[in-house]
């Protein structure tokens, strides 16, 4: 029997109506369940591009979600503003008895959620949070001494040892409990994207829940070769599902079930990447200072001598280093960058251009469709040798060697820097000498390590 008359399921980075922990629990404990999404003005006001593609991704997911809820005799509530004001407002308007949501591990999100909880508790409204975007959250995988892991491989082994198949079971909401539209007659609906101050942009990936399932089906055909093909940007060797995992149009449980069902080397390699994702979530949750500081204390005082002109050249894909420029042009044009290339361009920025990794991290945060603070920070600190379990500082990617190894026929380069192959090309000379800059980087890091 339901415990509450009216419940509210607050969506954030879980834009689906199936395999959804908070929605399942709301539908099991409440007679009527309303579903709300808030366009968070605190976050959106920080964006300086009205055509930020991520808003197109979110809006399309909400359109599909709304249509799905309509089929179950309800609809989506969509608000705009500060959630600390908007959630208590809609709770009061609908006379909600309990609010349900899935956990987020970023510092802003945790602070926001605590503030909303405090406000609602004063009003006598119950507040429930659930683990949903990971299989194991921050303190569930610990070392024998009770402290968090700081190295990935033992974390991965512990993850696999602790994992049980039931942990990826589908969380099925009883959507018959969704609130009737008659109770929502004066409540805000989903409006066109320009109402929220943004313009629709072209996104090259299938979007929404349907897009996630389509990509998962396509990936099924190439999964067995994932371990072999994933490092080659010219191949369709990766899942392209990171956007859907980021915005929750695909659940982590679906991804894990997919891996474990296939049982081949490719599936095992993809599962390891999903565990890397959880490792970085754990690091962000347990060591929140990484949002602003190097994980390794000895590298926090490095004075980066790189030039602002070099940073602009890196951003614009005109460094004169083809593989770097190709990757950056792909990012600027599509919002996507292949994972191997993310490591190449990050290493180049930090160890060739000698520019603070945080500047690159911030640029990626503006441009990546699948931007996730935990993974972005973890990846940048790994490449910069400042993070937990990072590559040692003396390992410096040679961009020329990386291009020869992972794009040997120049297929990817021809797509994004075709002028390299033209006669009388105006393609620029490299802005730095890799060999010289490598020595400077080693000296910079070695000096920091000794202080």
Cα separation, 432 vs 354, in Å, equals 11
Q: What is the secondary structure of 150-206 as a DSSP string?
A: -SHHHHHHHHHHH--GGGG------GGGBPPGGGGTTSPPP--GGGGT------SS-
Cβ atoms 233, 338 nearer than 8 A: yes
Check 273, 291, 332, 398 and give the catalytic one: 273
Cβ atoms 193, 51 nearer than 8 A: no
> What Cα–Cα distance (Å) separates residue 209 from each residue in 251, 338, 370?
10, 22, 15
Distance of CA 268 to the CA centre of its chain: 21
Check 17, 380, 382, 416 and give the catalytic one: 380
> What Cα–Cα distance (Å) separates residue 56 from each residue in 45, 340, 360?
16, 26, 24
Q: Find all residues with CB under 8 Å of 435, minimum gap 6, and list them.
A: none
Catalytic site includes residue 273: yes
Check 357, 361, 376, 416 and give the catalytic one: 357
Burial of residue 166 (number of CB atoms within 10 Å: 0-12, 13-18, 19+): exposed
In sequence order, the β-bridge partners of residue 33 are 7, 178
148 DSSP 8-state letter: B
Look at the chain and count its residues.
Answer: 451
Cα separation, 18 vs 147, in Å, equals 34
Catalytic site includes residue 357: yes
Nearest to 369 by CA among 342, 399, 390: 342
Q: Find all residues with CB under 8 Å of 136, minimum gap 6, and list them.
A: 159, 162, 163, 278, 282
Check 174, 236, 304, 433 and give the catalytic one: 304
Cα separation, 371 vs 13, in Å, equals 12
DSSP three-state, residue 344: helix
Nearest to 216 by CA among 272, 186, 156, 258: 258
In sequence order, the β-bridge partners of residue 102 are 130
Catalytic site includes residue 51: no
Catalytic site includes residue 422: no
Check 10, 270, 276, 416 and give the catalytic one: 276
Give the phi and the psi of residue 284 in degrees, each rounded to 5. Answer: -60, -40
> What Cα–Cα distance (Å) separates residue 127 from each residue in 2, 24, 103, 113, 175?
16, 15, 12, 10, 20
Q: Would you name the residues annotated as active-site residues?
A: 273, 276, 304, 339, 357, 380
């Amino acid at each position: 029997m339901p415990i509450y008359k009216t419940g509210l399921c607050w969506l954030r980075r879980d834009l689906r109506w199936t395999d959804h922990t908070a929605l399942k629990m709301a539908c099991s404990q409440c007679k009527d369940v309303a579903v709300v999404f808030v366009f968070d003005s605190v976050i959106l006001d920080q964006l300086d591009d009205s055509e930020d593609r991520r808003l197109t991704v979110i809006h399309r997911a909400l359109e599909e979600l709304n249509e799905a809820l309509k089929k179950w005799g309800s609809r989506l509530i969509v608000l705009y503003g500060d959630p600390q004001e908007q959630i208590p407002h809609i709770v009061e308007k609908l006379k909600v008895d309990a609010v349900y949501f899935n956990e987020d591990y970023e510092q802003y999100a945790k602070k926001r959620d605590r503030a909303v909880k405090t406000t609602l508790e004063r009003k006598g409204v119950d507040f429930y949070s659930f683990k949903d975007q990971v299989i194991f959250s921050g303190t569930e995988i610990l070392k024998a001494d009770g402290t968090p892991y700081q190295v990935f491989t033992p974390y991965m082994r512990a993850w696999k040892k602790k994992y049980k198949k039931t942990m990826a079971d589908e969380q099925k909401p009883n959507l018959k409990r969704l609130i009737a539209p008659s109770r929502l007659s004066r409540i805000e609906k989903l409006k066109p994207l320009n109402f929220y101050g943004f313009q629709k942009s072209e996104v090259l990936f299938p979007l929404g829940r349907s897009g996630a399932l389509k990509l998962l089906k396509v990936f099924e055909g190439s999964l067995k070769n994932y371990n072999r093909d994933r490092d080659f940007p010219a191949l369709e060797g990766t899942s392209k599902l990171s956007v859907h995992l980021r915005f929750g149009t695909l659940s982590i449980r679906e991804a894990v079930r997919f891996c474990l069902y296939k049982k081949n080397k490719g599936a095992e390699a993809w599962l390891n990447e999903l565990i890397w994702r959880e490792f970085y979530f754990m690091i962000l949750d347990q060591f929140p200072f990484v949002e602003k500081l190097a994980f390794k204390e000895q590298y926090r005082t490095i004075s980066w001598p790189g030039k602002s002109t070099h940073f602009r050249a890196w951003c614009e894909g005109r460094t004169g280093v083809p593989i770097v420029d190709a990757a950056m042009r792909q990012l600027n044009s599509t919002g996507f960058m292949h994972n191997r290339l993310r490591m190449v361009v990050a290493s180049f920025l930090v160890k060739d251009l000698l520019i603070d990794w945080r500047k690159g991290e911030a640029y990626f945060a503006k441009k990546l469709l699948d931007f996730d603070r935990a993974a972005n920070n973890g990846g940048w600190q790994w490449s910069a040798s400042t993070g937990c379990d990072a590559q040692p500082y003396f390992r410096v990617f040679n961009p020329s060697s990386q291009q020869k190894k992972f794009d040997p026929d120049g297929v990817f380069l021809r797509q994004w820097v075709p002028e390299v192959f033209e006669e009388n090309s105006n393609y620029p000379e490299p802005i730095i000498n890799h060999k010289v800059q490598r020595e400077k980087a080693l000296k910079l890091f070695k000096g920091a390590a000794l202080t």
